[in-house]
């Protein structure tokens, strides 16, 4: 459920970005550490047309949360913890490597799973495009 919502949120983000043309999206699976920059570059070179940038997103945590007790009477929302790497293909230069904990909610907010895809999209906008404008 969460994996599907994360995937829909990532695709929604990419569908509404006006400043880049998306040439492909790949889901990667690995054991242990995430792929190195060199491995990501090798994977991206197989894409056609040749990409200018590689954006690598790792979703670490993604869930609705609810905290009840002292000192919070009731606080909830969605929590998204993501790592994002952006690599320039031509020079193999790392343009960005960030870890972000994004939250949406607050006191007396109770959210279920229905907003997870929108929350994932919003978390990516906040990291990659803080001045985002929809198509």
Question: What is the DSSP code (8-state) at residue 27?
Answer: -
The whole-chain average pLDDT of the chain stands at 86
pLDDT score, position 58: 92
When pLDDT is averaged across residues 18-41 and rounded to a whole number, the result is 86
Three-state DSSP at 82 gives strand
Do the Cβ atoms of 134 and 16 come closer than 8 Å? yes
Do the Cβ atoms of 86 and 54 come closer than 8 Å? yes
pLDDT score, position 83: 94
Map out the domains of the chain as residue ranges.
2-128
Cα 127 to Cα 53, 81, 82, 83, 135, distances in angstroms: 16, 11, 9, 10, 18
pLDDT score, position 109: 84
Q: Which of 3-17, 33-47, 118-132 has the lowest mean pLDDT?
A: 118-132
């Amino acid at each position: 459920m969460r994996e599907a919502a994360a995937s829909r949120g990532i695709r929604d983000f990419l569908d509404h970005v006006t400043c880049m043309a998306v040439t492909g999206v790949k889901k990667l699976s690995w054991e242990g550490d995430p792929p190195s920059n060199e491995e990501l570059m090798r994977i991206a070179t197989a894409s056609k047309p040749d990409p200018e940038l590689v954006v690598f997103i790792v979703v670490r945590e993604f869930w609705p949360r609810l905290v009840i007790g002292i000192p919070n009477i009731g606080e909830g929302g969605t929590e998204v913890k993501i790592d994002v790497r952006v690599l320039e293909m031509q020079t193999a230069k790392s343009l960005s490597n960030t870890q972000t904990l994004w939250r949406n909610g607050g006191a007396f907010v109770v959210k279920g799973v229905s907003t997870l895809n929108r929350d994932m999209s919003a978390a990516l906008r906040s990291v990659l495009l803080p001045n985002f404008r929809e198509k």
